[in-house]
Amino acid sequence: MQVLVLVAAEVFGRVLPPAHHALTLVAVLLAIAFTNMVCAPLREHLLVLLEFSSLSVLSLTLTLGLYFTGDYPLQGVAAVSLRAGWTDSSTASSLCFLALAGAWTAWLRCRGPLGFRQPLFQQQHVWVKTTA
């Protein structure tokens, strides 16, 4: 369903000016992110957060890209600073995404084949026989 909505926005947005096309895609991405956060179609909370962060980064990228299109694109120091912030935010979000994906795989390794949490260290009981 999400892919269908994104394809529809892409196909019907081609007749719009580039700025309006980007705004249409931002609106669709935000609607998908909102729907996924409210409905929570996935069981695992971490996957929902990863998907939301991915859609947020895409929306931010499209929104910041609007500053460089249209009749009055940014130039000079403002353009350089915006590009630097854009690059930094994309890099930081990618690193956070990789860290969360690493935490997800580590969490899956701690689970057994049936989904039960396995202890990290097996406890061994030593019984001492006492005579009184």
Over residues 1-60, the pLDDT tens digits come to 788 888 888 888 888 888 888 888 888 888 888 887 777 666 777 777 778 878 888 888
Tell me how far CA of residue 117 lies from CA of 15, 36, 105, 106, 113, in angstroms: 53, 27, 14, 12, 9
**Range(s) of the domain holding residue 24:** 2-110
> Cα-flanking dihedrals φ and ψ of residue 117, to 5°?
-75, 130
| Residue at 51 is within a domain | yes
Contact (CB, 8 A) for 24 and 9: yes
Mean pLDDT, to the nearest integer, of 104-114?
Answer: 68
Structure tokens that stand for 111 in this block:
């689970």
| Residue at 126 is within a domain | no
| Residue at 26 is within a domain | yes
| Residue at 56 is within a domain | yes
| Residue at 80 is within a domain | yes
| Residue at 79 is within a domain | yes
Name the band, by pLDDT with cuts 50, 70 and 90, for residue 113.
low
| Residue at 84 is within a domain | yes
Reported pTM: 0.58
| Residue at 120 is within a domain | no
Q: How many CB atoms lie within 10 A of CB 13?
A: 17
Please tell me the total count of domains within the chain: 1
- Mean pLDDT, the chain, rounded, equals 76
